[in-house]
């Protein structure tokens, strides 16, 4: 595998039904419907209720916070291609411990004014023992 992009910086978490920063009807930049997740075998990234409550509730609120997903400002690090990013291998590491996991790209963010490089699912952050504003590294791989 070849690393297409690697960057690091502060992180935060987002998504799921309890995220106060996500609007009730907020969508995702890389997916328009739950069926797109399902077509790629990624329905585990969504809550079980996603298919019955969408579009009444936006996809950002229907993300399973225990799964491993990520949002980055992709255009700052590589050519922003939503279709390609859906299946990209993305490794996220805790810079302090060196531990890492693979996450699935689902959205574009965080907001530039936060000066953060990534928004992770609560589950991914917990697995890596990361809290908001801790440092992480993100590597996007060409398969």
**Overall domain count for the chain:** 1
Helix (H) or strand (E) holding 116, with range, is strand 116-120
Do residues 5 and 77 touch, judged by C-beta distance below 8 A?
yes
Q: What tens-digit pLDDT sequence spans the chain (143 residues)?
A: 888 889 999 999 999 999 988 888 999 999 999 999 999 999 999 999 999 999 999 999 999 999 999 999 988 766 667 888 888 999 999 999 999 999 999 999 999 999 999 999 999 999 999 999 999 999 999 87
In angstroms, rounded to a whole number, what is the distance separating the alpha carbons of residues 131 and 77?
23
Question: What's the rounded Cα separation, in Å, for the pair 53 and 69?
Answer: 20
Rg (CA), the chain: 14
- Domain membership of residue 23 as a residue range: 2-142
Which residue from 55, 93, 90 is spatially nearest to 69, judged by alpha carbons?
Answer: 90
State the Cα–Cα distance between residues 111 and 98, nearest whole angstrom. 26
Cite the DSSP H helix spans in the chain.
34-39, 50-53, 59-62, 82-85, 122-127
- Look up the CATH number of the domain holding residue 34: 2.40.40.10
CB-based contact 109:73 (threshold 8 Å): yes
**Paired tokens of 52:** 């019955």
Task: Read off the tokens for 8.
Answer: 């690091």
């Amino acid at each position: 595998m070849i690393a297409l992009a690697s960057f690091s910086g502060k992180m935060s978490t987002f998504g799921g039904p309890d995220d106060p920063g996500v609007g009730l009807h907020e969508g995702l930049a890389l997916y328009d419907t739950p069926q797109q997740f399902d077509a790629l075998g990624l329905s585990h990234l969504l809550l079980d209720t996603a298919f019955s409550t969408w579009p009444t509730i936006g996809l950002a609120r229907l993300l399973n916070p225990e799964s491993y997903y990520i949002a980055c400002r992709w255009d700052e690090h590589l050519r922003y291609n939503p279709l390609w990013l859906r299946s990209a291998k993305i490794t996220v590491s805790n810079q302090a411990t060196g531990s890492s996991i693979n996450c699935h790209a689902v959205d574009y963010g965080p907001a530039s004014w936060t000066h953060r490089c990534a928004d992770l699912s609560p589950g991914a952050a917990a697995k890596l023992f990361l809290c908001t504003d801790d440092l992480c590294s993100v590597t996007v791989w060409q398969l």
